[in-house]
Structure 1
Amino acid sequence: MSNQQVEDALLKADRWSKVIALFFAMGMFGLATILTEDLHISAAIAAFSAVGVRIYVPYHVSVWGEDSDGLSSQSYELTGNYHHGAAGIALVVASFAALAVLVVGPSVHGALATGTTSAVYGALGVGISVGAVLFVLLRQILPS
């Protein structure tokens, strides 16, 4: 497989990641809306998780995708270096963590109606914290 074929495979994965992220966002939006009953918060959670999927898919293909000879695409010198898998995974996990805090905490719909936004700020804080810690850990663990 030539460098151009590998690059084309990575570009194809990049294009497919848009479709995968779109469907992931729709599923995440539906799940978050059912669990929180708030469209705005659900949209933010879905958007961040979809961005994470969009970032992770090309990374995954570039590191673990193989050609017909069993070589990773990273072994070809002219291919792009997608080394941001840690950020993608961290965004997805942080979105799920924020959603979990919103579900476990007080009713988001009631909290926003009364002007109490502590549940939202708590979920935001947990999401950022989990995402940051996971990013730092995965940055060291995942291959680049």
Structure 2
Amino acid sequence: MSNQQVDDALVKADRWSKVIALFFAMGMFGLATLLTESFQLSAVVAAFGAIGVRIYVPYHVSVWGEDSGGIASQSYELTGNYHHGAAGIALVVASFAALAALVAGPSVHEIFATGTTSAVYGALGVALAVGAVLFVLLRTALPS
């Protein structure tokens, strides 16, 4: 497999990541809407999760993708620098953490009716904390 074929495979993975992220976003939006009954918060959670998927898929292919001879794509000298696996995984997990915090807290309708947004800020804090810790751990654990 030539460097051009590896580059073409990574471009193909990048294109497929758009489709995968779209379906992930639709599923996440549906799940979040069922659990929180808030379209706005569900859209935010789904968008951040989809961005994480979009970032992770090309990274995964660049590191673990192999040609017919079993050689990793990353071993070719002209392979693109897709080193964002930790950020992608952290965004996806942080989205689920924010959703869990929103579900565990008070009702979203109650939050907006009373004007107190502490539960929303709490979910944001949980997502940031989980995402940051996971990013730091994965940045050193995942291959680059």
Could you tell me which residue of structure 2 aligns to residue 68 of structure 1?
68
Percentage of matched positions with identical amino acids: 83
Q: State the SS of the aligned residue for 2:47.
A: helix
Could you tell me which residue of structure 2 aligns to residue 77 of structure 1?
77
| Cα distance in 2 for residues equivalent to 1:109 and 1:140 | 41
Task: Give unmatched runs, 5+ long, in structure 2.
Answer: none
| Cα distance in 1 for residues equivalent to 2:6 and 2:111 | 51
Q: State the SS of the aligned residue for 1:129.
A: helix
The C-alpha deviation readout for 1:72-126, integer Å capped at 9, x for no partner, is 0000001102001000000000000000000011111111111011110000000
**Off by >6 Å, runs of 4+ in structure 1:** none
Could you tell me which residue of structure 2 aligns to residue 48 of structure 1?
48
Where in structure 2 are the equivalents of 1:1-144 lying within 5 Å? 1-144=1-144
Q: Which amino acid aligns with 2:138?
A: L
How far is the alpha carbon of 1:127 from its aligned partner? Answer: 0.2
| Cα distance in 2 for residues equivalent to 1:70 and 1:32 | 40
| Cα distance in 2 for residues equivalent to 1:64 and 1:112 | 45
How far is the alpha carbon of 1:19 from its aligned partner? Answer: 0.3
How many aligned positions are there?
144
Q: Which amino acid aligns with 1:120?
A: V
| Cα distance in 2 for residues equivalent to 1:117 and 1:68 | 54
How far is the alpha carbon of 1:50 from its aligned partner? Answer: 0.2
Query: What's the TM-score, normalizing by structure 1?
Result: 0.99
| Cα distance in 1 for residues equivalent to 2:112 and 2:59 | 38
| Cα distance in 2 for residues equivalent to 1:113 and 1:89 | 34
| Cα distance in 2 for residues equivalent to 1:81 and 1:48 | 22
| Cα distance in 2 for residues equivalent to 1:140 and 1:75 | 19
Task: Give unmatched runs, 5+ long, in structure 1.
Answer: none
Deviates more, 1:57-66 or 1:106-115: 106-115
CA RMSD of aligned residues (A): 0.5
